[in-house]
Amino acid sequence: MHWYLTREVLATLAMTVAVFTFILLLGNVLKEILLLLVNRQASLGLVLQGIGLLIPYVLIFALPMGLLTSTLLVFGRFSADQELTALRANGISLMAVVTPILGLSVLLSAFCAFLNMDAAQKCRLAYKQLIRDAGREQPSSLLTEGRFVDEFPGFLIYVGKMRGNQLEDVMLSQLENYQVITRLRARRAVLNQNPEKNQMVLHLFDVWGLNRELGSSQFSAAEVSNATSLAQKLTQHSEPLDEFLWNLLSNSGKEMLLSTNPAPQQLQATLARELSQLVRATNFYSRARFLNFKLDPDVERQAQQNPTGEEMARLNRQLLEAAYIGEITPARREWQPFTTTEFPLIIDTKAAPANKNPPRVSEMTFRKLWDEKKSFMARLKTGADAAGSGNDNPKHFLMPITMQMHRQVAFSFACIGFTLVGIPLGIRAHRRETTVGIFMAIVLVLVYYAFIILGESFQNRPELMPHLFLWIPNFLFQIVGGILLWQTNRGKY
């Protein structure tokens, strides 16, 4: 009987995992790889290699879901066919029968731990590197229909239709210092490549566009639209950025902000003068300082490159505009429209496929996350890290790392909880229909991942210890599953 149930669970598990893996792969493959194949920009071998690298990444979700579905289906049929009744009539308890299945869930949890904490992240990075390598060999392969592409430095390109080197409905934004200076839309375009010079030439036809000059990094008094509110934020230090800027203000500026009932115009002029000086003093950006603000991705990428001079001043201006939306008016930018029948554009492709950013926290292995956390704590003790200088809360910086570490470990135990719940619920359902088991599995998976989403929604509030929320579904499923299994073993269902 042990071998019979184990064989049934393994056979159903293989089928359900294959189905869930196919569904989860479909989104990634259709979005990136198959479009390259359809456009004849990638070989079949590249597609198969990409799918192979994505499988470990999707297995961390497909394997627990497949195990839950298989236990519901197998034990639902087991109960509906009166096989459990026959076992009890022969003096065999349910616990004696399901012990190998529980052992299988432990083994699968260990395998999931390997995937979650190491293999999935490495394969995901290898997959991204594969796409970049394809772009290095043929830069035009990075252009795909219906998708904005930012792989070419200084350009954001969208192509509506692509047939070989003939493009239709092309939209293009050209950036300088990570600000859009030109927007173009062409009815059609012809793409030519010059591999010797690492260039891609776009001949745009029937073009309509806009040009603009970048705004000044300096502040006028009128651009400090709500001086009173800004002064209150800087003096009350409600955000790490407020305290950081306060420490950079001149003594005369601090006196004005702390004075009782200052004249509004005088306060505006003082803040405009102080901010104009501060944007040229130092780079405002640190991850912890702007954790609670929504930044433009291009601005954030620029900040990580430690710009200097006028480029740094423009960046700081944009950071302040994002942080103090109600207090600072964005710099005025004038757009000038133009039209032309033909517009040749040369794009440098040499640096296009380069890995511009370090791995995200979600792409790091557990060992890498641990090393990052230890490194940050060591810098914090020595005072070498800006985030730990007293102006920023180090918990805000560490929380994404802590969340990801707990997420990787907590996900690994999903197989055990799903098995403990799936066995008694399958028996209680007493149904042979596959659709009933799949429906129950989907509902349970949604309940499980709802707690994960809840914990991640509190990531910016470390005082609530959101990483502990990630463990709630494991404890809940294991406790409830254990109780249900004990009651089912005693015949109470």
Q: What is the mean pLDDT of residues 46-55?
A: 84
152 against 105, higher pLDDT: 105
Q: Copy the structure tokens of residue 251.
A: 């003594």
Average pLDDT, the chain: 81
pLDDT score, position 39: 54
Contact by Cβ (8 Å): 357, 399: no
Q: Confidence class of residue 357 from pLDDT cuts 50, 70 and 90? A: low
Task: Look at 105-119, 129-143, 160-174, 220-234 and tell me which has the smallest mean pLDDT.
Answer: 129-143
Out of 208-217, 389-398, 455-464, 476-485, the most confident range is 476-485
pLDDT at 110: 95
In the prediction, which pLDDT does 386 show? Answer: 44
* Average pLDDT estimate for 440-450: 86
Quick check: 238 and 207 in contact, CB under 8 A? no
Residue 410: partners with Cβ closer than 8 Å, 6 or more residues away? 452, 470, 471, 473, 474
Helix (H, G, I), strand (E, B) or coil at 243: helix
Residue 244 to residues 206, 235, 255, 275: CA-CA distances in angstroms? 50, 11, 17, 13
Q: Which of 87-91, 97-101, 171-175, 230-234 has the lowest mean pLDDT?
A: 87-91
Of 130-134, 283-287, 464-468, minimum mean pLDDT range = 130-134
Residue 309, pLDDT score: 85
Confidence at residue 413, expressed as pLDDT on a 0 to 100 scale: 93
Q: What is the mean pLDDT of residues 302-313?
A: 82
The predicted model gives 360-388 an average pLDDT of 74
In order of 41, 470, 479, 488, the CA distances from 420 in angstroms are: 47, 18, 9, 11
User: Which of 183, 178, 184 minimizes the C-alpha distance to 154?
Assistant: 178
Most confident of 90-99, 135-144, 172-181, 469-478: 469-478
Residue type, 287: R
Q: Of 102-106, 147-151, 486-490, where does the model show the most confidence?
A: 102-106
Q: Give the range among 223-237, 375-389, 407-421 with minimum mean pLDDT.
A: 375-389
- Out of 57-71, 291-305, 313-327, 378-392, the most confident range is 57-71
| pLDDT of res. 136 | 57
Q: Is the pLDDT of residue 213 over 60?
A: no
* 148, pLDDT greater than 70: yes
Q: Check pLDDT > 80 for residue 350.
A: no
**Segment 230-243 mean pLDDT:** 88
Provide the sign of the torsion angle of the four alpha carbons 368, 374, 378, 383, taken in this order: positive
Give yes or no for residue 380 having a pLDDT over 80.
no
Res 492: pLDDT? 62
Q: If we measure between CA atoms, which residue out of 353, 296, 308, 343 comes closest to residue 182?
A: 343
Residue 351 has pLDDT above 70, yes or no: no
For 86-137, the pLDDT digits (tens) are: 777 777 777 888 889 999 999 999 999 999 999 988 988 888 777 766 655 5
Number of residues written out for the chain: 493
Most confident among 21-35, 175-189, 242-256 (mean pLDDT): 242-256
Cα end-to-end distance, the chain, whole Å: 22
pLDDT at position 387? 41
**In contact, 185 and 197? CB cutoff 8 Å:** no
Q: Which two tokens stand for residue 106?
A: 């432990």
Q: What is the pLDDT of residue 434?
A: 63
Q: Could you tell me which of 176, 117, 171, 180 has the C-alpha nearest to residue 149?
A: 171
pLDDT at 459 over 50: yes
The number of angstroms, rounded, from the C-alpha of 2 to the middle of its chain's C-alpha atoms is 43
Strands 166-176 and 199-212: unpaired
